[in-house]
Amino acid sequence: MLRFLRGAGVPVGMIIDVGAHEETLELRQAFPDLRHILFEPASEFQDVLRTRYANMDYVLVQAALSDQNGTGHLRKIAIDGNKITSCRLVDHSSGGPSEIVITMRLDSFMSNRDDCKPYLLKLDVDGYEIPIMRGSEGIWDDVSCIIVEATCGSFAERMNFLLSNGFKLFDIVDQTYYHGMFSQVDLVFVAEKFWENPNLRPWETKKFAWDQHVSVASFEEIVQQSAPAENRHFRLPRLRLWKGK
């Protein structure tokens, strides 16, 4: 999807990676020549991020994004053993262990910067995506693409939020099932102003061809065969709370 997006001519000047965890390998592979701003509040991931992005242009911000500037309570979750697999901002009154971290609005952080535009914004913060998007409203005009994780329960909410803020659905990737039931996906949106691009409207700009109308399984096979050899059959493991088995 990322290779197609770039090849189709959707402009991306910089990557904003919210919830970087240990890395987002797909973004590193697709955009090795661009700056990556990495937001990751958990101290456990700071050293590994510096190591894995050492040969790239990157900015590492140890803070949690939200819809307000200040402080918040970060809860860390370890599914197996002591290794942190996910973390998110929580209401302190909800109980359970948490630690105080710096919070900030993305539009406030970006207001004092002069990075290359437009931005690709990726959000993977285990349920806190809507407040982060509310805190990004000041830079919507500078965002060309948004990738946001959505579960079966949050799919409609996140879809409607972005549709109402000037974005159109571009792709649905990383479909995940748990015990046979649909669990989560990554939703990919492109700003409406870029949809004049004929490569994004093949049903309007290209002659219909049955061999180009394919199922997901067939399309994945085609993509695998066209990918560079070192990227074939690549799957990035993503641990989530509901994937414990």
pLDDT digits (tens, 9 = 90+) for 85-108: 777 787 776 767 778 989 999 999
* pLDDT of 88: 74
Between 34 and 126, where is the model more confident?
A: 34
Those residues whose C-beta lies under 8 Å from the C-beta of residue 67, and which sit 6 or more positions away, are: 105, 131, 132, 134, 135
* pLDDT of 239: 36
- Residues 47, 43: Cα–Cα separation, whole Å: 8
Domains and CATH numbers, the chain: 2-243 (3.40.50.150)
> Tokens 């579960």 belong to which residue?
151
Measure Cα distances from 162 to 28, 176, 212 in Å: 25, 22, 28
Those residues whose C-beta lies under 8 Å from the C-beta of residue 209, and which sit 6 or more positions away, are: none
* pLDDT of 95: 67
Percent of the chain with pLDDT over 90: 65
Give the pLDDT mean for 133-154: 95
Give the pLDDT mean for 57-64: 96
- Please determine, for residue 74, whether its predicted confidence score (pLDDT) is greater than 50: yes
Closest among 40, 33, 38 to 56, alpha carbons compared: 33
What's the mean per-residue pLDDT of the chain? Answer: 87
- Please determine, for residue 230, whether its predicted confidence score (pLDDT) is greater than 80: no
Asked if 74 and 42 count as a contact pair (C-beta separation under 8 A), the reply is yes
Least confident of 17-31, 84-98, 207-221: 84-98
Least confident of 51-55, 159-163, 173-177: 173-177
- Please determine, for residue 212, whether its predicted confidence score (pLDDT) is greater than 90: no
Measured on CA atoms in the order 20, 188, 80, 66, is the torsion positive or negative? positive
Q: What is the dihedral of CA 232, 236, 237, 238, to 10 degrees?
A: -150
* pLDDT of 139: 95
Model pTM?
A: 0.86
Give the pLDDT mean for 33-49: 94
* pLDDT of 236: 39
